[in-house]
Amino acid sequence: MARSYAHRRQGERPQPEGRRSERPRVRIDDSGDARALVVDETFASFYRRGEIATHCVWDAIAAPILWLRPERRRRILILGLGGGSVARIARALAPGAEIVGVELDSEVVRLARAHFDLDELEVRVEIADALEWLRAEVAARNTGGRTERRFDVILEDVFLGRGDEVHKPDWIPDPGHRLARKCLAPGGLLVSNTLDEAPRVARAMRAAFSSLVSIGTEDYDNRVLVAGGKGLSGSALRRKVAESPILRGSLPILSFRTRG
């Protein structure tokens, strides 16, 4: 199954009580006022009611939206919607945007609506395989069916596997990112949340775009790759985050690096 994923460094991931064999495949874990969505023993979404930022990997995934001028934040695509952690930040950064979220698992969407206030975010949810969704979108565009619907930013947060064996699907970066590029508006951004695949995915993204930035999150192994046009750099994106009342509180845990 494909989903959003944040991977704590070894020894730091909270372990819920109960034997693994007795746990539901998709479940909600509550700890005080914080709530996590766990899918196949992976940390798939985080929510604290009344807060937008997660102070976690999802802030890094959404942060590149700040690189775009407010009038360029019109259409946002999230591949791997999960519980809506990225969508919540995206909605705050782009209040008037059309946000489309693609999620394979209907149970994840059901729990997100019941426990993560997903419906408040006004996201158009598409329950579909992300690769097949991209193929259908490109096919419709090629036949003139959706020429108006290009996205200003595509946030790709898709993973497969269980627990520590989680990984990107073999269609990332190709053909997934190639199809995603066909759905981007001129000057748009492609963002990919990665783990061990970061070097391979980064090479492909750097070859296809003028600029590439890597964002790290303290205590997490994830590397968020941001590809865009000329002028995009780690230092410039960091300044945008520092200026944001929504995400500046997460700045101490985020690191920005311009890549080649």
CA dist 169 and 166 (Å) reads: 9
The pLDDT value recorded for residue 147 is: 57
Closest CA to 42 of 72, 90, 71, 82: 82
Decide the pairing of beta strands 254-258 and 211-217. antiparallel
**93 within domain boundaries:** yes
Number of domains in the chain: 1
Peptide bond into 173 cis (omega under 30): yes
Look at the block and give the residue holding tokens 């489309």. 100
What's the confidence (pLDDT) of residue 1? 39
Structural domain boundaries enclosing 100: 20-258
DSSP H helices in the chain: 57-62, 85-93, 106-115, 130-142, 176-182, 198-208, 234-243
To the nearest 10°, the Cα dihedral for 258, 236, 219, 209? -40
Residue 186 counted as domain residue: yes
Instruction: Write down how long the chain is.
Output: 260
Phi-psi group of 231: left, alpha or beta (phi > 0 → left; psi -120 to 50 → alpha; rest → beta): left
Q: For residue 26, is it within any domain?
A: yes
**Closest by Cα among 129, 65, 131, 128 to 99:** 65
Q: What's the pLDDT at 13?
A: 44
Residue type, 128: A
Alpha carbon separation from 59 to 54, 76, 84, 126, 145 (Å, rounded): 6, 15, 12, 22, 34
* CATH number for the domain harbouring residue 129: 3.40.50.150
pLDDT in the model for residue 178 = 98
pTM of the model: 0.92
Q: What Rg value do the Cα atoms of the chain yield, rounded?
A: 17
Tokens 């023993």 belong to 41
The answer to whether residue 108 is domain-embedded is: yes
User: Is the previous residue joined to 95 through a cis bond, with omega within 30 degrees of 0?
Assistant: no
In a domain, 57, yes or no: yes
- In-domain check, residue 242: yes
- Cβ pair 82, 157 in contact under 8 A: yes
Q: What is the pLDDT of residue 5?
A: 58
| 76 neighbors 152 (Cβ within 8 angstroms) | yes
**pLDDT the model gives residue 21:** 52
Give the mean pLDDT per block of 10 residues along the chain (260 residues): 56 46 86 94 92 97 98 98 98 98 97 97 98 96 74 98 93 98 98 97 98 98 97 98 98 95
In a domain, 15, yes or no: no
Residue 4 maps to a domain: no
Q: What pLDDT is recorded for position 8? A: 65
Which amino acid, one-letter code, is at 254?
L
